[in-house]
Copies of this chain bind each other. A is one copy, B any other.
Amino acid sequence: MENKPLEGFTFLFGLAEALGALGLILTAIWLGSYRGGFTWTSNPKLEFNWHPLLMMMGMIFLYANGILVYRSFRNSRKRKLKIAHAFINAMAFIFTIIGLQAVFDSHNLASPSPIPNMYSLHSWLGLASVILFALQWVFGLLSFLYPTLSAPLRATYYPIHVFFGINAFVCASASALLGLTEKAIFNVSDYSQFSSEGLLVNCIGVTIVIFTSLVVHLVTEVKFKRHPLPEDEMLLTSNE
């Protein structure tokens, strides 16, 4: 009886993790083999290559795993899960900040002249996702982990935290697709001839789409929801 509601969870969760890892590996292969690999500020063009890889790691893979922690470790105590959720998302934020530094450097240090920043839809949606993600981290901390807000305010914020958490994650995925499209059009000269690099970029995009769909399914499906443990009830700060 206990396991019945989780039918399918392990398979879908494993598939999601595998696709997340595949997305990272394909991105690393793409940037390493087709785009000249990775350096830091000595070569702005190659410094750029850190951007897609680190953003994929931060805003897609780790962000997803931060969300999924309440599903994948459902039998752990709520407080432990909250700490894991905050920790994984803090890691995600660190990767994200370095990934942003890489793209701004690669624009500002470009020769002969700098490349403008923040003009594209990719940059608008991407930065909005990062800001929303960061705000959620701070408000989440103040509401649920080291609660300074009153209980009614916390209860009001909880569904908002969940909704915007998933929303910013999907926006981050859409931003990644926009970034892949920009890079393919700017740099893959034979994109329209179905070149191997163009197909690889598209396959990274498809991987992100399926990964994102699976993660949203795993976290929103009612039968996969975590049931509060008896211990949780004893904690005033518990929210489910």
A residues apposed to B, CB below 8 Å: 115-116, 119-122, 124-125, 163, 167, 170-171, 173-174, 177-178, 180-182, 184-186, 191-194, 198, 201-202, 205-206, 209, 213, 216-217, 220
Q: Are B119 and A191 in contact (CB under 8 A)?
A: yes
Q: Are B125 and A193 in contact (CB under 8 A)?
A: no
| Cα distance, A124 to B206, chains bound together (Å) | 8
| Complex interface: chain B residues within 8 A of A173 (CB) | 174
Q: Are A121 and B181 in contact (CB under 8 A)?
A: yes
Which among B116, B186, B193, B198 is the interface contact of A193 at CB below 8 angstroms?
A: B116
| Cα distance, A177 to B205, chains bound together (Å) | 14
The distance from the CB of A43 to the nearest CB of chain B, in whole angstroms, is: 21
Q: Are A205 and B119 in contact (CB under 8 A)?
A: no
| Cα distance, A122 to B216, chains bound together (Å) | 21
Main secondary structure of the interface of A (DSSP, over half): helix
A117 (CB) vs chain B CBs: closest residue: B192
| Cα distance, A170 to B215, chains bound together (Å) | 14
Which among B120, B125, B192, B205 is the interface contact of A184 at CB below 8 angstroms?
A: B120
The distance from the CB of A10 to the nearest CB of chain B, in whole angstroms, is: 19
A119 (CB) vs chain B CBs: closest residue: B192
| Complex interface: chain B residues within 8 A of A120 (CB) | 181, 184, 191-192, 202
| Cα distance, A115 to B124, chains bound together (Å) | 29
Which among B125, B163, B193, B209 is the interface contact of A177 at CB below 8 angstroms?
A: B125
A206 (CB) vs chain B CBs: closest residue: B124
| Cα distance, A119 to B181, chains bound together (Å) | 11
Interface pairs (20), CB distance under 8 Å: A116-B193, A119-B193, A119-B198, A120-B184, A120-B202, A121-B180, A121-B201, A121-B202, A121-B205, A121-B206, A124-B202, A125-B177, A125-B205, A125-B206, A125-B209, A174-B209, A178-B178, A181-B181, A181-B182, A182-B185
| Complex interface: chain B residues within 8 A of A185 (CB) | 182, 185-186
Q: Are B119 and A209 in contact (CB under 8 A)?
A: no
The distance from the CB of A189 to the nearest CB of chain B, in whole angstroms, is: 13
| Complex interface: chain B residues within 8 A of A115 (CB) | 192
